A = this chain, B = another copy of it.
């Protein structure tokens, strides 16, 4: 039996308390699995007196988490403070500098500084682990970095934000609009008071940038992620998608293309019958495609105390067992500084909804604009007729290039008969 792994936890919110609880509840099984005990030796949080439903008696209290990260007798620092900079970053940097391993759930930090932190950690010979940063309890980082590491991954995508998936699921089930469902989600605690981080796609983009780095062995490149959120998705679009045989999901998607690495977060139409279309509520799912494995799908809870604690524990177990795997699947020095592919070069099918004046010639004008941009149409729907009000017209295109689509849409938006900006949702094929 080796010496215990001495663990310090910075941040005792929902996740931090869950980690403390897991280390206590499953201490015996962890010891059996690691051949040594995983011992909580220090904790730090803002408020010492809050009851967290977790026993902190054996752990030393630190008001300053950076001092804790540097203190003697700590082997690994678990950073659960959050945020791309500030205290969280200082804690992680201090831990690495002091030769401690780091386990973090902080996707913002990794999205912004992942490459530099990986370089620093590898230089110091310590592990920087972050299973909990992407898709909560789903062990997708390990799957990409190890389980599927024999493959050349061509595409990885998934439902990476549970709040958005809950809102979209609820909108479809109830037929209500975004604002209404968001308010309810906030009341239930499924969405933050300031929901922009989730609903504008930023959180999913952080996770996607990390996922892409691991999948492709590339430097994290958050700045190049094309991001759109779900605020503009209407009940009408969800109903039309349903009629056409699709679900609307906020996907994060990264693809290796000859033109560079494509990274985008936006609402997508996904076909019913594909695994991703049936992932509902707060669940997350990730699909990875490799040259040998084909398609592999991973589903589970993307957030919450238990699943996130499970992911943190798996990193701690790896460290306790002495596993040493490169941070982003290849050594930092060998990470690809791959060029990003701009969204204008994206090729795919599109769903477009227009609100038009219901009079003869409208469809002819619209379809002419597509023809002029060499875009061919797969289907067209006009369900309601009303000469006094704007009526929806839905078009689905065959594969085309984003730049062509934008050209066509500019023309269409300028038509007298088109009364609102066109709503465009990309279609993602399985």
Residues of A bordering B, CB below 8 Å: 18, 22, 25-26, 29-30, 32-33, 35, 131, 137-139, 142-143, 146-152, 217, 273, 275, 278, 290-301, 306-307, 309-314, 316-318, 321-326, 329-331, 334
Contact = CB atoms under 8 A, between A and B. Distances in A.
Given A33-B330, A317-B146, A323-B325, A292 B309 contact: yes
Contacts of A151: 26, 310, 313
A25 B299 CA distance: 30
Contact of A300 (B32, B297, B318, B322): B297
Interface of A is mostly: mixed
Contact of A324 (B32, B137, B150, B322): B322
Given A296-B138, A331-B35, A26 B143 contact: no
B326 A324 contact: no
Nearest to A273: B278
Nearest to A150: B313
A313 B314 CA distance: 22
Complex A-B, nearest 10 residue pairs according to Cβ-Cβ distance, in ascending order: A150-B313, A139-B147, A296-B300, A293-B310, A137-B293, A297-B299, A292-B306, A292-B310, A32-B330, A323-B323
A137 B165 CA distance: 28
Nearest to A275: B299
B26 A152 contact: yes
Contacts of A217: 29, 32-33
A334 B34 CA distance: 11
A161 B33 CA distance: 29
Contacts of A323: 146, 321, 323-325
